[in-house]
């Protein structure tokens, strides 16, 4: 809305042009050339150029201020890995052709490159003189008042809202709606209460609330088939992995202060498989998603060609679960309590405070009793969630969303060795899996991609870094006066066609 990217996503979460007016790939998908609109300007009147794109991509993967998700997205760019490691001052593979043309040169074919170019472009003329070490403290990071999208930033009130206002004399396609408030809620219940009261115009609606909101006079329910996943990650990091994360950045760490005693049984895939067999996933889908979901058995579940039909479905089998636990070394007391080295096995489930998160925790809590495991539920604020997960405050960490069903390459952003969740929370690292993910993105041949991703999917299905539950259908509650929406399979991109939105009395 305020900082367009080169590309964005349509309602099926397939790449579409956003800021760029054209993109051309060479025959073997090792070069992507983007054309920028000659009329594009920043809100302070400065022209938007390819130099802004270059600066943004350098910032995104810089060793000091970059983020792991972007480092993963852009590893195929020539020189990106060296730049991210601090061994180069420039990214060799990003070439500014002229003010309105920029080319990305890749190390190998990457058929999914456009799935990663959804990075909002920053104003280099505002930020480039700031040292990288000071960039996060720049006032712009909290108040991006120089923008290039159809809306201007007005105000950000932490934990309350973001306020944006329609630009006057916008250079691109104008929007109709004058002002947008993105309200920030700690709980789904609060957002639904405000929708019912007519205080907000649009929010996601959980499946169990759909029937109620279909009866609310001023709301419509829009449906979309989702592409996100619903899982709980395991935390089976080793002492060595935790120690590395605690090292200062100059020694290759992250500078954390994690204090956690690893649980050896979680590091054995058979124990993780046992927990999968202990769960009735149909009950999970019914309770948490109101049955409006499709079961998944790895994070690779779409498009259709990428679905491996031979995965273990982990249908509930308590006896099988106990057998696997005993193979690992778990013992059971006479009254069925699972023990490790003579002590009861207690696990902690972590999530934010949403109602569906609580329900999932309660379902798992009840089902784990069948294999003698006590599960404690810990719900924290959204702002505290990731810190709690990294700090090792739980063994099972709920996660939901993502774009997994759009393209199987998305999985690399979560489960490869250096991916954020794998590195910081889960502890999953399998170099063979990383090689498969790299190979899958390096070919445009669908038959070859299918073969590769079926192997990768089978690996996740066997090693279970996460308990894979389902992909949910997506529901939006919309004020009947808000028209023109095309509901997205990923709620994060619901505004993809906001230029078509308008209000009726």
pLDDT at position 363 is: 98
pLDDT at position 71 is: 85
The answer to whether residue 145 is domain-embedded is: no
pLDDT at position 9 is: 94
Q: Can you read off the two tokens belonging to residue 302?
A: 């779409």
Q: Tell me the average pLDDT of the chain.
A: 95
E strand or H helix that includes residue 467? strand 466-479
Q: Which of 90, 111, 140 is the last residue before a domain boundary?
A: 140
Q: Do 412 and 282 reside in the same domain of the chain?
A: yes
Q: Do 128 and 189 reside in the same domain of the chain?
A: no
Q: What is the mean pLDDT of residues 47-69?
A: 94
**pLDDT over 80 at 344, yes or no:** yes
Q: Do 132 and 156 reside in the same domain of the chain?
A: no
Q: Which of 117, 140, 163 is the last residue before a domain boundary?
A: 140
* Helices marked H in 255-308: 269-278, 281-289
Contact 345, 333 (CB under 8 A): no
Write out pLDDT tens, residues 207-249: 889 999 999 999 999 999 889 899 999 999 999 999 999 999 8
The beta strand positions in 215-276, using DSSP E, are: 219-225, 229-234
Q: Do 288 and 307 reside in the same domain of the chain?
A: yes
Q: Do 316 and 463 reside in the same domain of the chain?
A: yes
Q: What is the mean pLDDT of residues 251-263?
A: 94
Binning pLDDT at 50, 70 and 90, where does residue 148 land?
very high
Please state, in angstroms and rounded to a whole number, the distance separating the CA atoms of residues 427 and 237.
4
**pLDDT over 80 at 505, yes or no:** no
User: Is residue 55 reached through a cis peptide bond, with omega within 30 degrees of 0 on the bond before it?
Assistant: no
Contact 32, 181 (CB under 8 A): no
Which phi and psi (to 5°) does residue 222 adopt?
Answer: -105, 140
Q: Can you read off the two tokens belonging to residue 158?
A: 């932490």
The answer to whether residue 2 is domain-embedded is: no
SS3 for 462?
helix
pLDDT at position 143 is: 94
Q: Do 352 and 375 reside in the same domain of the chain?
A: yes
Q: What is the number of other CB atoms lying within 10 angstroms of the CB of residue 137?
A: 9
The answer to whether residue 198 is domain-embedded is: yes
CA–CA distance from 3 to each of 176, 193, 227 (Å)?
18, 30, 24
The answer to whether residue 136 is domain-embedded is: yes
Contact 347, 376 (CB under 8 A): yes
Q: Do 252 and 133 reside in the same domain of the chain?
A: no
Write out pLDDT tens, residues 1-28: 999 999 999 998 889 999 999 999 998 8
Could you tell me what percentage of the chain is helix, strand and coil, using 3-state DSSP and rounding each to the nearest 5?
A: 35, 20, 40
Binning pLDDT at 50, 70 and 90, where does residue 156 land?
very high
Q: Do 78 and 136 reside in the same domain of the chain?
A: yes
- The structural domain count of the chain equals 3
The answer to whether residue 439 is domain-embedded is: yes
* Segments forming the whole domain that contains residue 211: 151-223+475-503
pLDDT at position 490 is: 87
Please state, in angstroms and rounded to a whole number, the distance separating the CA atoms of residues 211 and 208.
7
Which phi and psi (to 5°) does residue 245 adopt?
Answer: -60, -30
Binning pLDDT at 50, 70 and 90, where does residue 402 land?
confident
pLDDT at position 438 is: 87
Please state, in angstroms and rounded to a whole number, the distance separating the CA atoms of residues 457 and 347.
27
Residues 6+ apart with CB under 8 A from 308: 298, 300, 453, 454, 457, 458, 461
Query: CATH number for the domain including 262?
Result: 3.10.105.10
Q: What is the mean pLDDT of residues 112-139?
A: 95
Quick one: what percent of the chain has pLDDT higher than 70?
A: 100
C-alpha dihedral, 305 to 309 to 311 to 314, nearest 10°: 120
Binning pLDDT at 50, 70 and 90, where does residue 461 land?
very high
pLDDT at position 355 is: 86
Q: Which of 220, 219, 213, 226 is nearest to 289 (CA)?
A: 226
**pLDDT over 90 at 459, yes or no:** yes
pLDDT at position 494 is: 94
Give the rounded distance of the alpha carbon of 335 from its chain centre: 41
pLDDT at position 475 is: 94
Query: CATH number for the domain including 22?
Result: 3.90.76.10
The answer to whether residue 354 is domain-embedded is: yes
Q: What is the mean pLDDT of residues 50-64?
A: 96
Q: Do 156 and 111 reside in the same domain of the chain?
A: no
Write out pLDDT tens, residues 112-121: 899 899 999 9
Contact 20, 7 (CB under 8 A): yes
Q: Do 355 and 458 reside in the same domain of the chain?
A: yes
Query: CATH number for the domain including 182?
Result: 3.40.190.10
More confident residue, 29 or 271: 271
Q: Do 463 and 481 reside in the same domain of the chain?
A: no
The answer to whether residue 349 is domain-embedded is: yes
E strand or H helix that includes residue 365? helix 355-368
More confident residue, 327 or 72: 327
The beta strand positions in 158-251, using DSSP E, are: 161-166, 179-183, 202-204, 219-225, 229-234
* Helices marked H in 424-487: 431-441, 446-463
Contact 99, 93 (CB under 8 A): no
Q: Do 252 and 375 reside in the same domain of the chain?
A: yes
pLDDT at position 354 is: 86
Residue with tokens 């204090």: 259
The answer to whether residue 355 is domain-embedded is: yes
Q: What is the mean pLDDT of residues 461-490?
A: 96
Label the pairing between strands 219-225 and 396-401.
Answer: unpaired
Please state, in angstroms and rounded to a whole number, the distance separating the CA atoms of residues 311 and 461.
7
């Amino acid at each position: 809305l305020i900082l367009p990217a080169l590309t964005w996503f349509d309602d099926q979460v397939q790449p579409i042009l956003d800021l760029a007016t054209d993109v051309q790939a060479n025959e073997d998908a090792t070069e992507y050339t983007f054309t920028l609109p000659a009329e594009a300007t920043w809100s302070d009147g400065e022209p938007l150029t390819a130099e802004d794109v270059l600066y943004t991509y350098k910032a995104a993967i810089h060793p000091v201020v970059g983020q792991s998700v972007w480092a993963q997205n852009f590893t195929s760019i020539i020189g990106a890995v060296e730049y991210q490691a601090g061994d180069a001052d420039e990214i060799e593979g990003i070439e500014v052709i002229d003010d309105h043309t920029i080319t990305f040169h890749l190390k190998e074919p990457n058929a999914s490159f456009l799935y990663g170019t959804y990075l909002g472009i920053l104003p280099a003329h505002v930020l480039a003189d700031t040292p990288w070490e000071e960039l996060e403290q720049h006032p712009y990071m909290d108040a991006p008042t120089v923008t290039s999208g159809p809306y201007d930033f007005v105000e950000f009130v932490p934990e309350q809202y973001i306020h944006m206002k329609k630009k006057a004399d916008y250079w691109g396609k104008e929007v109709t709606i004058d002002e947008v408030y993105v309200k920030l809620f700690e709980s789904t219940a609060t957002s639904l209460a405000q929708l019912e009261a007519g205080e907000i115009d649009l929010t996601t609606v959980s499946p169990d609330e759909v029937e109620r909101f279909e009866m609310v006079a001023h709301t419509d329910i829009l449906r979309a088939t989702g592409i996100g996943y619903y899982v709980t990650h395991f935390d089976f990091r080793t002492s060595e992995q935790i120690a590395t994360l605690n090292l200062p950045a100059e020694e290759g760490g992250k500078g954390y202060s994690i204090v956690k005693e690893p649980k050896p049984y979680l590091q054995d895939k058979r124990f993780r498989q046992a927990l999968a067999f202990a769960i009735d996933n149909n009950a999970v889908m019914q309770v948490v998603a109101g049955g409006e979901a499709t079961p998944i058995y790895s994070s690779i579940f779409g498009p259709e060609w990428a679905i491996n039909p031979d995965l273990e479905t982990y249908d509930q089998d308590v006896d099988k679960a106990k057998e696997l636990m005993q193979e690992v070394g778990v013992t059971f007391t006479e009254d069925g309590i699972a023990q490790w080295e003579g002590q009861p096995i207690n696990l902690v489930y972590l999530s934010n405070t949403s109602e569906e998160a609580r329900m999932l925790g309660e379902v798992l809590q009840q089902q784990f009793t069948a294999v003698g495991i006590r599960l404690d539920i810990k719900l924290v604020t959204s702002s505290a969630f990731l810190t709690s997960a990294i700090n090792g405050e739980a063994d099972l960490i709920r996660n939901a969303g993502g774009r997994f069903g759009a393209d199987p390459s998305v999985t690399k952003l979560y489960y490869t060795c250096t991916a954020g969740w794998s590195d910081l929370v889960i502890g999953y690292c399998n170099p063979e899996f990383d090689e498969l993910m790299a190979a899958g993105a390096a070919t445009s041949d669908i038959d070859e991609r299918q073969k590769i991703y079926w192997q990768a999917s089978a690996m996740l299905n066997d090693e279970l870094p996460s308990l894979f539950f389902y992909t949910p259908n997506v529901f939006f509650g919309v004020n009947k006066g808000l028209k023109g929406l095309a509901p997205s399979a990923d709620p994060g991109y619901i505004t993809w066609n906001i230029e078509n939105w308008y209000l009726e009395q």
